[in-house]
Structure 1
Amino acid sequence: MSRISDVIVVGGGVIGCASAWFLAREGLSVTLLERGQLAERASGANAGMLLPFGETNLGGPFLAWALRSLALFPELCAELRQRSGIDPELEASGALHVAFDAEAALHLRAKAERFAEHGLRWLDGDDLRSQESSLARELVGGVWSPL
């Protein structure tokens, strides 16, 4: 028996599964193709973090999109919990990016200054250790992001 889909999504990672789910929710018939197990590759290996200020220094439209997407996530988690009975265990805890040398500290300080309006702030090593005593003595400092 042949089956015709409105959309074929290739890849069963978090992006492929989310795309298929949202398309189906809009009434489209969707076929999801995955060569292995769902989320067994990159999506299964990440730490589940959503960090608009993580590995990038991009601002502008990218940052606006990332912040808008992040704001939608609690509602998505609530819907997933309600529909599936599985708790995504969303925890908005912020993030700390640390520097162990002067060069890394320079980059992180610049990031903190650039995105200060979003709550990012630079903390030197002593300030960080006063809040978390288990941090390494070699730590030069870090950027705290509430997002």
Structure 2
Amino acid sequence: MPHGSRQFDVVIPVCEVLASVIAPSSGVVLWQDGSTWMIDFEGNLHGAANIRTFGDRVAHAAGRAATRYPTVARCAVRLDQVESVGSFSESQGQVILGSPEQLTKWLGLEVIPYGELLTTDARSQARRHLERIRRPNPALAREMSRRLGLPR
């Protein structure tokens, strides 16, 4: 799939067995492989510097799922074992909330700061900046997109 076109359901485990396998606050995405439902997850257990937010954790899990990259952080699930809390839009570089109450509990927060839902990689940040200037200055946005190699 072309960069920027992927969208995944963001889920959290609701059964004890699955929750015991997945680190708390992990980013978890749901996808289908034929008739089998799969999840990929990322908990940043090793403290990678480029994975700072929940959005980053979800983006890493979604990237592995999209490319079917081999990982131990993947398993088959039944749909009654997970609950959808939103979706991940690669093109926007963010998690779009559907069930903030459940996600708040999963993350162990009282309130989810907006920045926690965003990816922090340079490409996503550049896309968001471009969106902010696109309406008032479309010519500048086109030129910046061209120079950064981003889709217009």
Relative to the length of structure 2, the TM-score reads: 0.21
**Larger % of strand: which?**
2
Relative to the length of structure 1, the TM-score reads: 0.22
Q: Which has the higher Rg, Structure 1 or Structure 2? A: 1
